[in-house]
């Protein structure tokens, strides 16, 4: 069995012409039987038609997820709503299920209507191409500015596999990311919803590339298992197996960040409460000055302290401690000298490392995964629509 295979689930990725050329631009996940489903969606007030449609169907039961890339179907009015519904209807017709059992997702340029003739041809082709070992092909069909597909899997008492896309417009509370996870665990929809929200809070909602939150973001999960639903310790064990899969998919997005060369784990601990920990971590992870220092491998601790200071978190500056890797570079109001800075600089020359700030104000903690800002980020986004 492929490590990325889940019994009873098949995947496809095909070219239907949305992006032009020959690139894959239509993906499909199909469960052989109705599966429990749950989802987490963008908090942007401007939401794409597929978000509206899929958000209304979870938690619940679903048979399929159909996804297109190259066109966001966002800010497209009543026509966009009709097109998203048509995507679900086309998949349902080809699969012999109800449109209510089909979730839809889109990613790409905002504002253009979907070229429905391409989808009317492509969705039946995707159904014909379904393959139990097709997750990698499905992942390739999601890509826009991504440089590589993002696939992760785990095997334990249950099989779990997933794919994601994203490289820019990434920020907690969803971003221009799509995440899809499937499992053969038997989980009731309400329990799956609760577990998935908690997992996403620490994974897909704990990454930031550029502080921008998009219109199309969603992370969906299907659980196909039959029999008595997991409960108690078994449900907790499932959550423990699920979370590392989601975390690695989320980290793969940061590792593939537009223009990024560093992946940095930003942890704020010692906060007075969870809200303060989140605020300070988000401020550091999204600060352009911090992120450019990360790119330049410059241990400019003042930028980190200043970002925390403007976050709204409550703390005394003389209680703060900052580490870059293992190097304590700032301790209770004082820079720790050239030797500490040299050790921090050596850490910053590596592709992945941790930055930790202790506010000395309590016991709350929050971790956000971020990246540096490099010149390629501007180049990619200056002419994205071309």
Residues annotated catalytic, as ranges? 176
Cα–Cα–Cα angle for 295, 298, 304, nearest 5°? 90
The DSSP bridge partners found for residue 178 are 165, 218
d(CA 377, CA 168): 8
d(CA 26, CA 2): 22
* Strand pairing report for 159-165 and 150-155: antiparallel
Smallest Cα–Cα separation from 298: which of 263, 335, 348?
A: 348
What's the burial of 11, exposed, middle or buried (CB within 10 Å: 0-12/13-18/19+)?
buried
Q: Are 232 and 187 in contact (CB under 8 A)?
A: no
Determine the straight-line distance between the first and last CA of the chain, rounded to whole angstroms.
41
Q: Would you tell me how many other CB atoms lie within 10 Å of the CB of residue 173?
A: 17
What's the burial of 314, exposed, middle or buried (CB within 10 Å: 0-12/13-18/19+)?
middle
């Amino acid at each position: 069995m492929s490590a990325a295979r889940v019994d009873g689930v098949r995947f496809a990725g095909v070219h239907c012409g949305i992006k032009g050329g020959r690139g894959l631009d239509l993906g499909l996940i199909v469960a052989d039987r109705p599966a429990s489903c749950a989802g987490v969606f963008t908090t942007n007030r401007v939401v794409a038609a597929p978000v509206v449609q899929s958000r209304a169907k979870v938690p619940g039961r679903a048979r399929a997820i159909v996804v297109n890339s190259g066109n966001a179907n966002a800010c497209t009015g009543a026509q966009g709503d009709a097109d998203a519904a048509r995507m679900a209807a086309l998949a349902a017709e080809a699969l012999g299920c109800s449109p209510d059992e089909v979730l839809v997702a889109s990613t790409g340029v905002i504002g253009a209507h979907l070229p429905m003739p391409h989808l009317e041809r492509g969705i039946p082709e995707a159904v014909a191409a379904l393959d139990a070992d097709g997750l990698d092909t499905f992942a390739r069909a999601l890509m826009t500015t991504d440089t590589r597909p993002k696939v992760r899997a785990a095997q334990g008492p249950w099989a779990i596999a997933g794919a994601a896309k994203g490289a820019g417009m990434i920020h907690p509370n969803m971003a221009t990311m799509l995440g899809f996870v499937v499992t053969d665990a038997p989980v009731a929809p309400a329990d799956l919803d609760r577990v998935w929200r908690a997992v996403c809070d620490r994974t897909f909602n704990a990454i930031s590339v550029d502080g921008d939150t998009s219109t199309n973001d969603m992370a969906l999960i299907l659980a196909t298992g039959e029999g008595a639903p997991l409960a108690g310790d078994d449900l907790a064990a499932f959550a423990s197996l699920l979370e590392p899969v989601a975390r690695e998919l989320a980290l793969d997005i940061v590792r593939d960040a537009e223009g990024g060369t560093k992946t940095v784990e930003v942890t704020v601990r010692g906060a007075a409460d969870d809200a303060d920990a989140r605020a300070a971590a988000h401020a550091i992870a999204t600060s352009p000055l911090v992120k450019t220092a990360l790119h330049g491998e410059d241990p400019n601790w003042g930028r980190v302290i200043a970002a925390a200071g403007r976050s709204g978190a409550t703390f005394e500056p003389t209680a703060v401690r900052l580490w870059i890797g293992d190097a304590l570079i700032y301790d209770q109001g004082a820079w720790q000298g050239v030797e500490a800075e040299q050790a921090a600089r050596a850490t910053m020359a590596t592709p992945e490392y941790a930055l930790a700030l202790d506010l000395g104000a309590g016991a709350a903690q929050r971790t956000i995964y971020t990246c540096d800002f490099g010149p390629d980020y501007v180049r990619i986004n200056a002419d994205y629509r071309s």
